[in-house]
Amino acid sequence: MGGFDYLAKRLLFAAVTVFVAITLNFVLFRTLSGDAVSALRCRQCTQAFKDYQRHELGLDESKWQQYKLYLNDLAHGDFGRSLRSQAPVTTEIWPPIKNTIAMVALGTFFSIVFGILVGVISAWRRGTAADKGGLWTGLAFYSMPPQWLGLLMVLFVAGALGLPTSGIKDPTLGILSDASTWDVFVDKMRHMILPALTLGLVLFGEYALVVRSAMLETLGEDYVLTARAKGLSNWSIVWKHGLRNAALPIITLIALSLGFIIGGSITIEYVFSYPGIGLAVVEAIDQRDYPILQGAFLLLTFSVIFANLVADLLYFKLDPRVST
């Protein structure tokens, strides 16, 4: 089978998965759980308003009609409207998504750095106390509930480092004097560090384990032996010959772990009141604002499907053997 077939297959798979996710979403929200309007928590809503909402949302049509309508709306990029604010879901969840992307990127960066450091040191010092210590630390963090680690961070670390523990913006910023772009940036970063660090710690264990075993495999290869025989420095052997060749499983793992990253970031954002998509989900649950919940779930799912596709394509690029 050629490379083109492989690509086509992966693309088709991603497309079908998107369709499955959409359908699952429809089934969950529209058929199994009653309807969104009656679940809405809203004291002022009159019966007339609810009926109007139902009609607006097409909830008085047959399920099959609703499904077709729903697919049609989605195809036009219409995710519906928030039941609370009446604003389109896309405009409601776009700002939180930007915040989440920034935080998750920083967190993933932390975890990659820790993971590679611990993994490489563990592999290099295989069987020593450093190796065991690194692995067990990684495993312990891997087993911690992210929300709990977040609470520990607030309790023990935030005070010591003098970092803020909630929100994304210092309320006093820009009140006494105009804040420069730089000040705003620094303020945002300061708010982002603790949630990102929490995410990084939760994730790094898994990365460290994979880096370690990938490194062990490459360090056992003949070309590494050759490199040693040539008298190259340890540094050059580990980074240039070892890690570069161990990159394949590491990159794939990072792309594949996006699902978990997203899951972890939901509770972490809640702990730190960080205004990201996770906090939006928690608020939507609280207010029974199903369209927001639905939109967020779809977007999260799409991004994971997309990351999987990217992982497949990367794998193909880095290792042509997979196309067979």
Partner 1 sequence: MSASTQGAAAADSGLAQAAPRRPGAIKTAILTQPQALIGLAIIGAFVIIALVAPLFLSGDPKAKVGPIFEPPSTAHPLGLDGGGADMIRLLIAGTRVSLLVGFCAALVSAIIGGTIGVLSGFFGGKTDIALMRMTDYFLVIPDIPLMIVAAALFGRSLTNIIIIIGIIYWTTTARLIRAQVKSVRERVYVKRSRALGAGNGRLIFKHILPQVAPLLIANTVLLVAYAIFAETFITFLGLGDPSVISWGRLIENAFQDDAILNNAWWAIVPPGLCVTLIVLGATIFGQSLEDGLNPRLRVGHLSVRRFKVRPLRGKLDTE
Judged by CB under 8 A, the residue of 64, 176, 182, 222 near partner 1 is 222
Nearest alpha-carbon partner for 273 in 106, 96, 144, 85: 96
Smaller CB separation from partner 1, 84 or 174: 84
The yes or no reply on residue 194 touching partner 1 (CB under 8 A) is no
Q: Rounded to whole angstroms, how far apart are CA atoms 71 and 18? A: 12
Region from 49-57, 79-87, 182-190, 215-223 binding partner 1, contact rule CB under 8 A: 215-223
Q: Rounded to whole angstroms, how far apart are CA atoms 265 and 271? A: 10
Judged by CB under 8 A, the residue of 6, 29, 114, 272 near partner 1 is 29
Nearest alpha-carbon partner for 33 in 299, 294, 263: 294
User: Which string of x and - marks every residue 80-119 that binds partner 1 (by CB under 8 A)?
Assistant: ----------------------------------------
For the chain, the first-to-last Cα distance in angstroms comes to 6
Judged by CB under 8 A, the residue of 8, 12, 24, 87 near partner 1 is 24
Give residues 234-273 in contact with partner 1 (rule: CB under 8 A): 249, 252-253, 256-260, 262-264, 266-267, 270-271
Region from 97-105, 179-187, 189-197, 214-222 binding partner 1, contact rule CB under 8 A: 214-222
Smaller CB separation from partner 1, 152 or 179: 152
The yes or no reply on residue 206 touching partner 1 (CB under 8 A) is yes
Give residues 112-171 in contact with partner 1 (rule: CB under 8 A): 124-126, 139-140, 142-145, 147-149, 151-152, 154-156
Give the amino acid at 276.
G
Judged by CB under 8 A, the residue of 11, 16, 161, 189 near partner 1 is 16
Q: Rounded to whole angstroms, how far apart are CA atoms 125 and 178? A: 52
Give residues 302-321 in contact with partner 1 (rule: CB under 8 A): 304-305, 308
Q: Residue 259: CB partners within 8 Å, gap ≥ 6?
A: 304, 307
Alpha helices in 220-289 (DSSP H): 222-229, 234-236, 244-256, 258-271, 277-287
Q: Which residue has the tokens 């970063």?
A: 189
Smaller CB separation from partner 1, 29 or 114: 29
Q: Rounded to whole angstroms, how far apart are CA atoms 160 and 155? A: 9
Q: Rounded to whole angstroms, how far apart are CA atoms 49 and 40? A: 12
Nearest alpha-carbon partner for 284 in 84, 102, 76: 84
Contact yes or no for 299/292 (Cβ under 8 A): no
Smaller CB separation from partner 1, 193 or 238: 238
Cα→Cα distances 3→16, 206, 249, 310, Å: 20, 31, 20, 15
The yes or no reply on residue 293 touching partner 1 (CB under 8 A) is yes
Residues that bind partner 1 (CB under 8 A): 13, 16-17, 20-21, 24, 28-29, 32-33, 124-126, 139-140, 142-145, 147-149, 151-152, 154-156, 206, 209-210, 213-214, 216-217, 219-222, 224-225, 228, 249, 252-253, 256-260, 262-264, 266-267, 270-271, 281-282, 285-286, 293-294, 296-297, 300-301, 304-305, 308
